[in-house]
Amino acid sequence: MGMIPEMTQTTLQRNGYSPSGLRSKGMREIRSEEIDVVVNLSGYTRAQSLEKFVEVENWEVSDPYGADEATYQRILEEIRGRVRDLAQRLREEQRAAV
């Protein structure tokens, strides 16, 4: 879409995250060698556009676009929890590899 929906920006701000400078990006703008892990929220497991990435996390998360504030908040909390879990797992894997 090239932009961040207003309700997404509002939900981010309400939770202490700045939406300043955020925008959606096309896959052509992303260089695979600069990415360690991709979190795929597209709903398509191993989407063709993600084939160049080694580490892809496929998360089933509902798209709140067009929904009410409570739905946006619920989705934010779900993603925040998953990010926390992913970070913990990656730290544990890194420690185990040492």
Q: Which CATH code for domain 6-97?
A: 3.40.50.2300
Burial 57-93 (b: 16+ CB within 10 A, else e): eeeeeeebeeeeeebbeebbeeeeeeeeeeeeeeeee
Please provide the average confidence, as pLDDT, over all residues in the chain.
Answer: 90
Backbone phi and psi for residue 26, each to the nearest 5 degrees, phi listed first: -80, 155
User: For 60-93, how does the pLDDT look when each residue is reduced to its tens digit (9 = 90+)?
Assistant: 999 999 999 999 999 999 999 999 999 999 999 9
Cα 59 off chain centre by: 9
Rg (CA), the chain: 15
Four-point Cα dihedral 10, 77, 56, 8, nearest 10: -10
Residue spans of the domains in the chain: they are 6-97
User: For 12-23, how does the pLDDT look when each residue is reduced to its tens digit (9 = 90+)?
Assistant: 999 999 999 998
